[in-house]
Amino acid sequence: MREARDRPDDDAAPRLLVVGSGAAGLTAALGAAARGARVTVLTKSTLGHTATDWAQGGIAAMTRDLPGGQPLDTPQLHARDTEAAGAGLCNAEVVRGVVADSPEAITLLTEHGVSFDRVAGPGSPWVQGLEGAHSVPRILHAGGDATGRVIQEALTARVREASASGGMSVQEYTLVTGILQRGGTVSGVTARSVDPAGRLGPEHVLAAEHVVLATGGAGHLYPFTTNPEVATGDGIALALRAGAAVRDLEFLQFHPTALAEPGSFLISEAVRGEGAVLRNHRGERFMLGVDPRAELAPRDVVARAIAAERASAPGAHVVLDCTAVPVPDGLTRAEHLARRFPTIDQALRDRGIDWSREPVPVSPAAHYLMGGIATDAAGRTTVPGLWAAGECAATGLHGANRLASNSLLEAVVFGERVGRLVAAAPADPASWPASDRHDAHPTPSDRHTTCGSTAPFTRAALQAVMWQGAGVVRTEVGLAETQRALDGWLAASSSEGPRADAETLAEHEDRNLLTVARELVRAARQRIESCGAHHRADDPASTGSQCPTPSTAHHATRGTDGAGHPGTPSRADTTLPGGHHHVSAPTSTERTAHAAPLSR
């Protein structure tokens, strides 16, 4: 761990608020604090309750030049695999930079206390697995299938140590409700405490020169997800209300293999990398006829194939068959699976499934959002002083489809990068990269969007609508129906929709989910071709392997509350203590998205 230099007691050091406590947020916090910044970490739950903690598969890295690394790998190979998975929408500069920084990311995690699995103890080569669309085994693991948890625990311990010694502060159970701006740059946030019953306390202001959003994804837009319950699109909704650009929200990755039972959980792609195969209800290994890479094809290909098999006949199902997984000498298959995948093994056995002998029913589930808050290669958004890292950010690394196990890598690389830059960066708007922003006025159709037959809002209703119309396979008809339902909820009275003046955490999360859902569906309707993880069944001519339409960023028009309820007072430019201004999102009847390229 890097030693923190002496921090001045006055206001000379930049005040940084990090919103979120996964790998990206904590890496940014530690990096900035080590360079003298005054850092506060804010999280609506506990430090350890994150998507990072749930990550099983591992972390991809180019380790050729590290002791115990993969001698067959090269930066060019890792970059090529990443760009191939991204279907032509990756930012080549970002890809090269992340791959180049990947050895440093592994070294940094090791310094923070992460012990990656090795073949035969200390000094031996790392165990590096092969996953879908990777050309060589380059996936490092820690604790078998508990890589994310090991990383989360190590970073959490470092942050708690720093907090105990005065190196930074931590505020758990604190929900950030808005981004404050003054003079064209970020000046802090508004926040509310969360009590054990989920009730929100009074809103208060926290001043800062910089804010890093590292809040994770929005998996709970859907009824089937591999994400923890905290993944409700909070950072993306905050950015939209602050006037920041978002990009590529149509690209949401559905993991092919979640347990197809209530309370589903991820069954890592690494299991297929070890030799497990997929079979349909007739016992056929159907992926052989779908893609030359079979079970190790890109996730979107496998997810669509599983969805098609499950929809092919009443009661049709797909199972993961581990009975052909090679077993090392001296072990039974059950022992090998338990050692290699202890988390999955225990979860399945708790449900009475012996996966060493019997097939495991699987289904696609919402897993990872490639799109998010548009950033440049430094992690800067289009709002001066506002940064983003991790899953809530669209950095350009993933393009239209994320290469397996690149997410933890991106989180650590961008977290460290943002932490380093924030400690030295002014928040002066003149020093910030500009975006070509052209916010148009609302059109008549935007003003009068209604849906009189929409059922009362519940999160379950939202999830069902999104799964049906904006799920693994999409059409214009389905997306239009989904948008009408979302517009109906947004236009409904507070008694029927998520309240802008939410008094509980769940109500505020519902509001954020609905805000993100509407922008996701709009982006999906605008991209009429299949591309990467965005599959349009009404575009049969497209293979989806390359995106003919370039990536664009868009904004939500500023001016009114993000929940979009008629009669809700506008909070735009509301003066708060200290001269801050609270910038909120538009109503559903006033908001419109406008394509504009983000300068990089």
* pLDDT category of residue 564 using cuts at 50, 70 and 90: very low
Residues 211 and 313 in one domain: no
Distances (CA, A) of 464 to 343, 457, 486: 29, 11, 12
Task: Say which residue, 170 or 121, is predicted with more confidence.
Answer: 170
Contacts of 8 by beta carbon, 8 Å cutoff, 6+ apart = 36
- pLDDT category at 2 given cuts 50, 70, 90 is very low
Query: Based on the domain organization, do 334 and 390 belong to the same domain?
Result: no
Q: Which residue type, as a one-letter code, is found at position 531?
A: C
**Does a structural domain hold residue 588?**
no
Q: Are residues 378 and 282 in the same domain?
A: no
Measuring CA to CA, how many Å separate 188 from each of 17, 429, 470? Answer: 8, 15, 34
Are 204 and 65 found together in one domain?
yes
Number of Cβ within a 10 Å radius of residue 324: 12
Specify the DSSP class assigned to residue 212: E
Same domain, 347 and 390: no
**Residue 269 counted as domain residue:** yes
Residues 465, 482 contacting (CB under 8 angstroms):
yes
Helix (H, G, I), strand (E, B) or coil at 595: strand
Q: Are residues 361 and 394 in the same domain?
A: no
In this structure, are 343 and 403 located in the same domain? no
Enclosing domain of residue 325: 256-365
Q: Are residues 330 and 390 in the same domain?
A: no
> What token pair was written down for 567?
């009669």
Q: Is residue 455 part of a domain?
A: no
**Number of independent structural domains in the chain:** 2
pTM across the whole model: 0.85
Q: Judge whether 90 lies within some domain.
A: yes
Instruction: Give the span between the Cα atoms of 531 and 541, in whole angstroms.
Output: 11
Tell me the catalytic residues. 299
φ and ψ of 109, to 5 deg: -65, -40
What's the mean per-residue pLDDT of the chain? 86
Q: Is residue 427 part of a domain?
A: yes
As a whole number, mean pLDDT of residues 397-424 equals 96
The CATH code of the domain that includes 310 is: 3.90.700.10
Give the model's pLDDT for residue 299: 81
> Are 309 and 397 part of one and the same domain?
no
In a domain, 174, yes or no: yes
User: Do 324 and 385 lie in a common domain?
Assistant: no
Q: Among 385, 410, 431, which residue terminates a domain?
A: 431
Neighbour-count burial of 197, counting CB atoms closer than 10 A to its CB (0-12 exposed, 13-18 middle, 19+ buried): exposed
The pLDDT tens digits of the residues spanning 199-255 come to 999 999 999 999 999 999 999 999 989 999 999 999 999 999 999 999 999 999 999
**What DSSP character marks residue 572?**
T
**What pLDDT, on a 0 to 100 scale, did the predictor assign at position 599?**
32
**Residue 289 to residue 483: CA distance in whole angstroms:** 35
Q: Do 50 and 154 belong to one domain? A: yes
Evaluate whether 168 touches 14 at the Cβ level (below 8 Å). no
Looking at 365, 396, 411, which one is the last position of a domain?
365
- The answer, yes or no, to whether residue 545 has pLDDT greater than 60, is yes
Q: If we measure between CA atoms, which residue out of 309, 368, 482 comes closest to residue 55?
A: 368
Look at strands 169-171 and 38-42 and give their pairing.
parallel
Q: What CA–CA distance (Å, rounded) separates 329 from 332?
A: 8
Q: Quote the crossing angle between the two packed helices 505-526 and 476-491, to the nearest 10°.
A: 140
Cα dihedral angle (495, 228, 466, 263), rounded to 10 degrees?
A: -100
Q: What is the pLDDT of residue 454?
A: 63
Answer whether residue 443 shows pLDDT above 80: no
What CA–CA distance (Å, rounded) separates 515 from 593? 12
Q: Is 125 helix (H, G, I), strand (E, B) or coil?
A: coil
Residue 491, in any domain of the structure: no
Query: Which residue reads 């006949």 in tokens?
Result: 313
Tell me which residue has tokens 């701006």.
181
Kindly state whether residue 130 falls inside one of the protein's structural domains: yes
In the predicted structure, residue 444 carries a pLDDT above the cut 60: no
Residue 377 sits in the same domain as residue 350: no
Q: What share of the chain is helix, strand, coil (3-state, %, to 5)?
A: 35, 20, 50
CATH code for the domain in which residue 92 is found: 3.50.50.60
Read off the tokens for 469: 């119309």
Q: Are 527 and 231 in contact (CB under 8 A)?
A: no
Closest CA to 267 of 466, 519, 56, 437: 56
> pLDDT by residue (tens digit) across 267-326?
988 899 999 999 999 999 999 999 999 999 878 889 999 999 998 988 889 999 999 899
Averaged pLDDT, 495-517: 83
Are the beta carbons of 235 and 19 closer than 8 angstroms? yes
Tokens matching residue 392: 């809530």
pLDDT digits (tens, 9 = 90+) for 67-98: 999 999 999 999 999 999 999 999 999 999 99
Last residue of a domain, one of 365, 382, 417: 365
Q: What distances in angstroms separate CA 536 from CA 8, 306, 473, 530, 547, one per listed residue?
A: 55, 16, 6, 5, 12
